[in-house]
Structure 1
Amino acid sequence: MKRHHLLTRKPQPVHDRQMLSQINTIAHSLVNVRDSDLVNQYQQLKLLCQFPGDDLDGLTVRAFSLVVESVRRVLGLTYHQEQLMAGLAMIRGEIVEMQTGEGKTVTAVLPACWFALAGRGVHVMTVNDYLAERDFQTLSPVYARLGLSSGLNQPRLSTEFKRAAYTADITYGPGYEFGFDYLRDQVMSLSQQRPRLGSQFSRTLNGCDIPTPQPVQHTHAVAIVDEADSVMIDEATVPLVLSSQGGQPANNTEVYQAARQAALTLKAGRDYLINEQTSELQITDLGILRLSADRSLIPLERLDRPWMQYVEQALRAELFYHRDIQYVVYDNRVQIVDPHTSRIFADRTWRNGLHQAVEAKEGKPITNESQPIARIMRQKYFQLYDQLCGMSGTVQGCQREFRDVYGIRHAVIPPHRPSHRIDLSVRLFVDQQCREQAIICSIQELLPTRRPVLIGTADIETSRRLSQLLHDQGLTHHLLNGVQDADEAAVIASAGGPETITIATNLAGRGTDIKLGPGVAETGGLHVIAAGFQLTERIDRQLIGRAARKGEPGSSQILASIRDPLFLQSSPGWIDSLKQQAGPNGEIPVTKQILGRIVKTQRKAELQGMQRRKQLTQHDNWLSNATCSIWN
């Protein structure tokens, strides 16, 4: 399908300031216009789009003005200049960085309505289904005021509901679900038998015309991605895989149990070698001989793959996969924890027998392995769209990858009000126990001020330990560590209340605004404590950025431990030297050299992540080309 001219011709940034003034002027003139006239004016713009002219800036100004007035009438909100700047950047196909609390959700309405003029469908993607539903419910009346239809695409919807969602002018949904729908459509298309020449005509003549199933996705015209760094970068290491239904009791449970028993007999350094920094595992020749010595212990007749692979997965489950970090045990089942958000994915499983190896390790019912039906790398799926744009509070640090992989630039939007956040000095401890005791002391010191405190942890295990310590001190608090639902957003939204203490995995409630309660601003605002550095500095900024939004007061502090995953990336000699500098309470004085080493390690980890994603994409391209060669 030929691309619409709106998707190829963009307003120029040199005109932005002039356009901002014009948008405000025209929007002000629309205040007394009837609702029906707003619809008529928007429809007139759609007609103008069918006949491309030279006044694209004028078209943009009028479209944005209508959106500004619709938002004012429905939500009672007034766009500030920075939001309009972000909207103009996005219609040029850029990823914009807007600080947390700057109103990204309502900003997305501007490019959504502008791209909807082309009439080819706009997909607005979020990080999870709750945020998609929240934004859809909030913004549908805004679109309706302009005569636009909107739809909600959620997991587990029927085909009919999904098709209806995609026929709307603007469709909201979690990013991964759009990709899964694409895979389902591809599987459906390939599963249809190619009709014999003339058979369709013959059935029509005989009144036996059988309708061909239609895909739910019709176009890939425009995608607007919220929290773009999370959706398009961090999660890009995990391909979208459509699998057969697993989860049923396995009929070869003894294989996984025997593999675990065999793995437990192996000794590190003799039978297998591990790389702590890369989590790589290699069974030595001696280990292979030991595992093959007694064939009576191997259930040969039940194997679906080489025995050594079962043992490797059992060993991997024992060494690298830990409860409340990589997975949780809930409802008597092993459930995966998303490494990027610490949310629980109840309907996903690890592949190649790893999930079954973890189930055997935990002594839980072993389920059958799901079989992959179709897969696509997220990078490749996003590249299907004619136009990509998005927004996030943390774009800087991955702008190169956006440019190299997706071919899109980034724009940094200044905050509407300058930040007044106070970032306290970093503190470093020899172990997690000393660090957690320091966190409790910091909270107790803040109690007389009645300031709210938000503690961000990297994993569920740490959040539970801190929760128990607070409980032991008789301190009432909220705990969020992986349940992805409306309660999460509600708890995060209330985290700014007086004397409120909230523990959350770092990205829990991402996309939800934290409003300060009565009197909190006067006492210093929200205080954020980060329990350690993350492998990427962007995630640190995402957590710290929860404090002092919209020019409000606030503060933050990072309390790290040399046992955190980031420090495991460093040399053992440096870690040993840090231990020797610790005081009686286990705290290590933080110097500029130490901070510089931390930043260097984060940048190295970010570069390794980018290279890993690049290699995965190249491998996926190779697989695709190889498959095409076979079928051709």
Structure 2
Amino acid sequence: METFAGNAPWYPPRSLERPPGQALARLRRRLDYLSGRQQRRRQAEMEVLENSRTRFRHLSEAGLANELENFRRHFSRDRGFFCRPSVARHRPAALALLAVYMERWMGMTPYRVQLLAALAMHQGALVQLAPGEGKTLALALVAALYGWTGRPCHVVTANDYLAQRDAELMAPFYRACGLRTVAVLPDQKPVELKRGYTADVVYATGKQLLADFLRDELLLAGVQTPQQRQLRLMRGTPDRMPVMRGLFAAVVDEADSVLIDEANTPLIISGPDHNPRLLAAVPTACRLAGLFRAEDHYRINPAYLAVTFTEPGHRLLDKLTADLPPLWRNEQRSEELLRQALLARDVFERNRHYVVVDDKIVIVDENTGRGMPDRQWSYGLHQAVEAREGVPLTAPSRTMARRSFQTFFRRYHRLCGASGTLQGIAGELWDSYDLLTVRVPSRLPSRLIVTPPAHFAKHKAKIQSLCDRTAELHLKELPVLIGTRRISDSETIAEHLRRRGIECAVLNARAHEQEAAIIAEAGQAGTVTVATNMAGRGIDINVPPEVASAGGLQVLMFEPHESRRVDWQLFGRSGRQGVPGRATMFVSAEDDLLQRHLPWFARWLLYLTNPEFMRGIALRIATQLSQWRAQRFLWRQRRRMVNRDKLIRDQLTFAERLKE
């Protein structure tokens, strides 16, 4: 630990190299998990916790304050990769005290499942907790324990809306525990960010944390020693100073989304690259792209975003290079320029991959359905999309720093979290992050009814059936949530419903300002909400008792996602905490998932399959196969990124040794 600018201490991130003895500790931890020893230990701690909670409930405020001060003193000694035994033995009683504080200052009584989840997380595990069981509260309990250490504690959320919402919701609890909490958001200035990171508990997205971490590294030019770091800080100005105070603990909400789904691509910090020659060439390249025909002149692999020119395509390109500016007439440069123009035309879709806001291209995160106004595609692709849309071209960017999420989160000394959907990824979580997965039983049995999927040969027939089903439910005064993957689909469905006289609210990247108001009304009787994945993870839709007794929230999924876990996240908006609900998936042979991830002969079989019940069986198998193939492809992509990061680290280490 060293002094950080602003008199706040700086805590160095954990080394990626395992120290001697840690491999043995890792093996012992795995064996304890497989043998059930961890679970038995956790149950014993739960008994201590419940007894302590009963005792603390009878204490006065002064008595609770004394106990709190004692626990803060104990947990201030917590450091390193594993919790010290001298600190761990106080964990059950400390959580019991925090539970009583939650009751008195928040009016919320933590259930046993939430306390069990908090125990498992503080032991360094990821917890699978059913949707609606109260992950937000359990995460706050763990964050308070780490906040008491005086070291950086980051609660990682799936999006900025949830970061701000949860920080504001839990602020009274943290204040009662003697802690300060803030939400760190993308639109904050460096001075605000720096002030925010001095808080005991910081709520932010993984992208925000990694971006700030990389910017700090750039400002400090990668210095390693405390003396070099201090010299850099002394030379800096307030707006050119690092904002973070190091890494210690990360408590991850929606852990599968943050650690797996968002980790498919690395985060890149870019800077402006003044390149007028590229800006002059892009419009010409987009015009020439109109002369190329798919399959005849080129082929595209959408999964890899790869364009391959055929022999006729190469000949046509050779003829057209004279129309390009002189710098781009080189064979390699002209091919790359045309590739970006073809990708912008054939692969990247408006109202799916991006939206146009105030004559600017705003990239849409397909995992969350939210806009990312500060992001840009690289290698001229962003400018090609701008030229296609006829908006002013922005300056291209150059890569200044790059890091995978796997590498970043392994730099935390303590990592834990929770999610409702950790199925099928336990092995990858252990291999990538050394994280074990613990499943906590539901407090109440689920009353969510997931009906068999509705299958269709054509996309048009699927829209018609979905609108018919929505009209039936609307007549019964039941709330309906329709989930789509694309912005364009959400608006098309809304238009069809309005033609039938059914008013609906639309939640997508175009209408993010109304998110809180739309979600607040989504569970009311007769309300119809059409939403992208913005209405998925972390969203609580409250259903009044009279609506629950009539059948609860009805979820209609317009098409399957690349991961079954994401499907269940949308289904999980309904049937929460024992409330009735129903969910139905609509699938057609023309869905993007099947078109991208099924072999060509399997796609033809779907169209030829008859009668209707046989097509349903074929589509069910095809959906499962496509999701498996999609997840296998993404897993390989994540492994390549991790290996690339390791290769770069090894090369840098070798270069540093040569200098010595």
Q: 2:628 aligns with which of 598, 603, 606?
A: 603
Alpha-carbon deviation of 1:123?
0.8
Q: 1:320 and 1:181 mapped to 2: Cα distance?
A: 31
Match of 1:69 in 2: 100
CA contact (8 A) 1:344 1:484 kept: no
Match of 1:579 in 2: 607
Matches within 5 A, 1:257-272: 257-272=283-298
CA contact (8 A) 1:497 1:518 kept: no
Evaluate the alpha carbon distance shift between residue 347 and residue 3 of structure 1 in structure 2; reply closer, same or farther with a 3 A threshold. Answer: closer
Partner of 1:325: helix, strand, or coil? coil
Which amino acid in the other structure matches residue 537 of structure 2?
R
Alpha-carbon deviation of 1:3?
10
Q: 1:385 and 1:565 mapped to 2: Cα distance?
A: 37
Match of 2:146 in 1: 115
Alpha-carbon deviation of 1:107?
0.8
Matches within 5 A, 1:443-458: 443-458=470-485
Whether 1:464 aligns to 2:464 is: no
Q: 2:327 and 2:457 mapped to 1: Cα distance?
A: 50
Matches within 5 A, 1:112-191: 112-190=143-221
Q: 1:196 and 1:287 mapped to 2: Cα distance?
A: 58
Match of 1:435 in 2: 462
CA contact (8 A) 2:594 2:622 kept: no
Q: 1:39 aligns with which of 65, 70, 85?
A: 65
Q: Per-residue CA shift, 1:12-44, capped at 9, x if unaligned?
A: 431323332332332233335343443332221
Matches within 5 A, 1:42-57: 42-49=68-75, 56=87
Evaluate the alpha carbon distance shift between residue 622 and residue 303 of structure 1 in structure 2; reply closer, same or farther with a 3 A threshold. Answer: farther
Partner of 1:102: helix, strand, or coil? coil
Q: 1:501 and 1:619 mapped to 2: Cα distance?
A: 46
Partner of 1:125: helix, strand, or coil? strand
Matches within 5 A, 1:370-389: 370-389=397-416
Match of 2:532 in 1: 505
Which amino acid in the other structure matches residue 480 of structure 1?
L
CA contact (8 A) 2:353 2:363 kept: yes
Match of 1:316 in 2: 343
Match of 2:425 in 1: 398
Q: 1:228 and 1:484 mapped to 2: Cα distance?
A: 26
Evaluate the alpha carbon distance shift between residue 295 and residue 579 of structure 1 in structure 2; reply closer, same or farther with a 3 A threshold. Answer: closer
Evaluate the alpha carbon distance shift between residue 554 and residue 80 of structure 1 in structure 2; reply closer, same or farther with a 3 A threshold. Answer: same
Matches within 5 A, 1:202-351: 215-245=242-272, 252-275=278-301, 278-301=304-327, 306-351=333-378
CA contact (8 A) 2:474 2:527 kept: no
Evaluate the alpha carbon distance shift between residue 570 and residue 211 of structure 1 in structure 2; reply closer, same or farther with a 3 A threshold. Answer: closer
Percent of aligned pairs sharing the same letter = 31
Partner of 2:101: helix, strand, or coil? helix
Partner of 1:293: helix, strand, or coil? helix
Q: 2:85 and 2:639 mapped to 1: Cα distance?
A: 40
Which amino acid in the other structure matches residue 309 of structure 2?
I
CA contact (8 A) 2:328 2:334 kept: no
Q: 2:421 and 2:575 mapped to 1: Cα distance?
A: 16
Alpha-carbon deviation of 1:223?
0.4
Alpha-carbon deviation of 1:165?
2.1
Partner of 1:371: helix, strand, or coil? strand
Whether 1:22 aligns to 2:45 is: no
Q: 1:529 aligns with which of 536, 540, 556?
A: 556
Whether 1:363 aligns to 2:390 is: yes
Which amino acid in the other structure matches residue 608 of structure 1?
F
Partner of 1:223: helix, strand, or coil? strand
Q: Per-residue CA shift, 1:78-123, capped at 9, x if unaligned?
A: 1111111110110111111112111111110121122233322211
Evaluate the alpha carbon distance shift between residue 193 and residue 422 of structure 1 in structure 2; reply closer, same or farther with a 3 A threshold. Answer: closer
Evaluate the alpha carbon distance shift between residue 582 and residue 477 of structure 1 in structure 2; reply closer, same or farther with a 3 A threshold. Answer: farther
Q: Per-residue CA shift, 1:262-285, capped at 9, x if unaligned?
A: 222123333212335655321134
CA contact (8 A) 1:430 1:588 kept: no
Q: 2:480 and 2:382 mapped to 1: Cα distance?
A: 37
Q: 1:85 and 1:255 mapped to 2: Cα distance?
A: 60
Evaluate the alpha carbon distance shift between residue 154 and residue 196 of structure 1 in structure 2; reply closer, same or farther with a 3 A threshold. Answer: closer
CA contact (8 A) 2:64 2:97 kept: yes
Evaluate the alpha carbon distance shift between residue 211 and residue 522 of structure 1 in structure 2; reply closer, same or farther with a 3 A threshold. Answer: closer
Q: 2:582 aligns with which of 526, 543, 555?
A: 555
Which amino acid in the other structure matches residue 517 of structure 1?
P
Alpha-carbon deviation of 1:526?
0.8
CA contact (8 A) 1:343 1:508 kept: no
CA contact (8 A) 1:456 1:543 kept: yes
Q: 2:423 and 2:366 mapped to 1: Cα distance?
A: 21
Alpha-carbon deviation of 1:72?
0.8
Evaluate the alpha carbon distance shift between residue 275 and residue 371 of structure 1 in structure 2; reply closer, same or farther with a 3 A threshold. Answer: closer
Evaluate the alpha carbon distance shift between residue 64 and residue 441 of structure 1 in structure 2; reply closer, same or farther with a 3 A threshold. Answer: same
Q: 1:193 and 1:393 mapped to 2: Cα distance?
A: 39
Partner of 2:90: helix, strand, or coil? helix
Which amino acid in the other structure matches residue 602 of structure 2?
W
Q: 1:32 and 1:250 mapped to 2: Cα distance?
A: 72
Q: 1:100 and 1:553 mapped to 2: Cα distance?
A: 13
CA contact (8 A) 2:589 2:619 kept: no
Partner of 1:108: helix, strand, or coil? helix
Which amino acid in the other structure matches residue 120 of structure 1?
R
CA contact (8 A) 1:507 1:543 kept: no
Q: 1:509 and 1:540 mapped to 2: Cα distance?
A: 9
Matches within 5 A, 1:472-483: 472-483=499-510
Q: TM-score, normalised on structure 1?
A: 0.90
Evaluate the alpha carbon distance shift between residue 196 and residue 47 of structure 1 in structure 2; reply closer, same or farther with a 3 A threshold. Answer: closer
CA contact (8 A) 1:126 1:173 kept: yes
Total equivalences in the alignment = 617
Matches within 5 A, 1:196-207: none
Partner of 2:242: helix, strand, or coil? coil
Q: 2:299 and 2:626 mapped to 1: Cα distance?
A: 24
Alpha-carbon deviation of 1:190?
0.9
Partner of 1:244: helix, strand, or coil? strand
Evaluate the alpha carbon distance shift between residue 352 and residue 447 of structure 1 in structure 2; reply closer, same or farther with a 3 A threshold. Answer: same
Q: 1:612 aligns with which of 622, 629, 637?
A: 637
Q: 2:546 aligns with which of 511, 519, 526?
A: 519
Evaluate the alpha carbon distance shift between residue 313 and residue 171 of structure 1 in structure 2; reply closer, same or farther with a 3 A threshold. Answer: same
Q: 1:303 and 1:186 mapped to 2: Cα distance?
A: 38
Which amino acid in the other structure matches residue 580 of structure 1?
L
Q: Per-residue CA shift, 1:200-249, capped at 9, x if unaligned?
A: 8xxxxxxxx86787532222111011111111111112222111247x99
Evaluate the alpha carbon distance shift between residue 75 and residue 249 of structure 1 in structure 2; reply closer, same or farther with a 3 A threshold. Answer: farther
Alpha-carbon deviation of 1:321?
0.9
CA contact (8 A) 2:263 2:404 kept: yes
Partner of 1:334: helix, strand, or coil? strand
Q: Per-residue CA shift, 1:41-65, capped at 9, x if unaligned?
A: 2221232346788565540122101
Partner of 2:544: helix, strand, or coil? coil
Which amino acid in the other structure matches residue 464 of structure 1?
E
Match of 1:203 in 2: none
Whether 1:623 aligns to 2:623 is: no
Evaluate the alpha carbon distance shift between residue 625 and residue 156 of structure 1 in structure 2; reply closer, same or farther with a 3 A threshold. Answer: farther
Match of 1:96 in 2: 127
Q: 1:59 aligns with which of 84, 90, 102?
A: 90
Q: 1:98 and 1:477 mapped to 2: Cα distance?
A: 31
